[in-house]
Structure 1
Amino acid sequence: MSNRRSQVFIRSVWAYNLDEEFSLIHALLQQYRFVAIDTEFPGFIYRSQMPDFLLAAEEFYVLLKSNVDNLQLIQVGLTLFDDNGNLPDLGTHGAFCYAWEFNLRDFDIRSHRYAPESINFLSSNGFDFDLLHIHGIDSGLFAQRLVASRLVGSGSNVEWVTFSGAYDFGYLIKILMGQPLPVRRVDFMRLLTFFFGERLFDVKSIMRHCHGLYGGLEQVARTLNVISAGGRPHRAGANSVLAFQTFLEIRNRFFVDVDVSRHAGEVHGLEKLR
């Protein structure tokens, strides 16, 4: 029986409980092979004069690289689920379900660049940037734990779900490599395949094949009558839950007779992996 109508609690991860939570996630991956991801970062300091959807893939990647190379990741949200849409209940027999939110320490509001409107928005939604910088997780250590847990890399069998996820994956590849993103989009796409495989689903891209769906994650969720089960909005953990819920609703509503897997590897803005 699916537990996806249960209350979802977000497990907040800091430097002090990083290893414990990653050990738990590693143990769960055999049963929960789908992972929905969302990230929070300090906005966009480079923008195109044209809307992103009018940019060619190469133009979009130049913009993505410029932003990701010059900004720092703030939060990563992960929601694990199985083929039937069940989330981990951690022994509560379906009474509660759990997702994860990793708080990173790299961003320093006093010295790093950011888009003021984005930081003001995050601040108004409860982000304490001093607390993050003091008690958050070093991104290099977070990257090591991602690989060791087999969430990413050659030993992983995870299938990823995101909403307009080019930037989510861009920031993760940056910290996994410990260096700026490649100059060429084709090299970035190879890294994307290496770390995350070819079985990734970008809801923003899948929406193109679903009549009547447009806009951002929250707008699409409202159109589908999806009510967030992830608690506090506008944070990476809750948004990863909403991305999972929206993907599941789209799969169940629009892909009853057609396998959604035909759209695996389509990353919004970057075209198909292969």
Structure 2
Amino acid sequence: MTDILAESFRVYGRDGGGPFVLVSDHAGQAIPPSLGDLGLSDVERARHIGWDIGIDGVGRRLADALPAVLVEQVYSRLVIDCNRAPGHPTSVVVQSDGTLVPRNQNLDAADVAWREQTILHPYHNRIAQELDARLAHGRSVVVVALHSFTPVMHNVARPWHVGLLHNHDPRLAHIMIELLRAEGLVVGDNEPYALTDTSDYTVPLHGEQRALPHIEIEIRQDLITHPAGQAEWAARLARLLPEAWQIFCTRYEQQP
């Protein structure tokens, strides 16, 4: 097992020879010292606006179980959202779910560029490096983006246990939806969010632009707040992802 802390990302797990490369855009809560606490309390920063609650535990357990390499973002999405393209209106949020972020108000171009250069780009460059190394050896590669979502948003309860997001290539997502629903789960198809060319960055950049099979998984946060739930979901995904990949290869005549 490797556990390498870099400036804006952590690489966890090991390459077990399988196709999966795990990425987690919102796994961290760190803030660069120069930005203090962003003007927010500990309670506010710990909410879903600051990170994808529980996905760090799921991702690391899943990386161990497959085994696979996981590239995690360690900084809070309140600093910069690594699932948004540079220049996107919500790349650096001024307000999130009703909470103003004081340190993000009235940023100039240099402030934003510094966050991109020190956090966003190194993270995505590391993902690209991981993918390039496998492709250079002619290996199959599947990009698996891991996220979690809040159970209630704008006073509306979200019933899905898990959602699978997709855009131009829904094939692997649809297979995974079938497998999860067969287990009696309430599974969202592009719920609670839809993956689009502009709403997301990681899958469009590393999956769609490279024409690699990919899947974006959103797990409801109350199911993975505690270690037991994280372990349950990691075990489930470790079992179903290889099954989904085998179905994909058979259905679409792709070399596994």
- Which category of TM-score, normalised to the shorter sequence, fits these structures? 0.3 to 0.5
- Structure with higher strand content: 2
Q: Given the two structures, how large is their TM-score scaled by the length of structure 2?
A: 0.35
- Structure with higher helix content: 1
Higher relative contact order (CA 8 A, sep 6+): 1
Q: Given the two structures, how large is their TM-score scaled by the length of structure 1?
A: 0.33
